[in-house]
Amino acid sequence: MRNFVVALRFTVLFFGINLLSISAPFAEEVEMDMDLMQTIESTNDNLSSNISLENAESAKADAQTLNELFAVVEEHYKKEVAAGNDVAEALDLTKKSIKFSSEIITFLDQKDFESAANTATDLARTCKTCHNFYKED
Ligand code: HEC
């Protein structure tokens, strides 16, 4: 009986993995590139700490990077919309993220760290809103 359970587990594991690799190519079209999101996540973390440490130059570089990464995300969702997928909300949230990161750069130029921090909080809220919509957890 015990051996049977062990064998069953392997079977489930094996088919589970196969299923993942089969569904991956189909999923690619609609899902966000995970490496891109990981980079967005670490850049966003750096941004928050650089703002709180008042490292204007590093924080500006982070905000600039986020701005460019979200431009890539925007391209992705524009294609999705063109393909007839219902991602209007995501496109809107991406545009918001681009706007927030630009505003952060302006505040940092003015050495207004408080406004930069508040806008960084708005930006982080936008991440969560989009994930609530589209993340498959
Ligand atoms: C316009 C929508 C949108 C915005 C804005 C957005 N994300 Fe995402 N994010 C996604 C989607 C879609 C996924 C993939 C979810 C899935 O398929 O499970 C994802 C996945 C992730 C992941 C998981 C990556 C992995 O390896 O599993 C992280 C981390 C992440 N996002 C961080 C962020 C951070 C930080 C921000 C804000 C600075 C952000 N995201 C903003 C849509 C968005």
pLDDT in tens, 49-81: 999 999 999 999 999 999 999 999 999 999 999
46 lines ligand 1 (CB under 6 A): no
What confidence tens digit (pLDDT) does each residue in 75-125 have?
999 999 999 999 999 999 999 999 999 999 999 999 999 999 999 999 999
For ligand 1, pick from 26, 28, 31, 40 the residue to mutate: most ligand atoms within 8 Å of CB. 40
Structure tokens at 4: 């049977």
Of the pLDDT bands very low, low, confident and very high (cuts 50, 70, 90), residue 20 is very low
Atom of ligand 1 nearest to the CA of 93: 1
Confidence of residue 4 (pLDDT cuts 50, 70, 90): low
Euclidean distance between CA atoms 132 and 126, whole angstroms: 10
Query: What pLDDT sits at residue 29?
Result: 44
Q: Alpha carbon of 35 to those of 54, 69, 75: distances in Å?
A: 28, 11, 16
Ligand 1 pocket residue status of 37, Cβ below 6 Å: yes
Q: Which atom of ligand 1 is nearest to the CA of 135?
A: 15
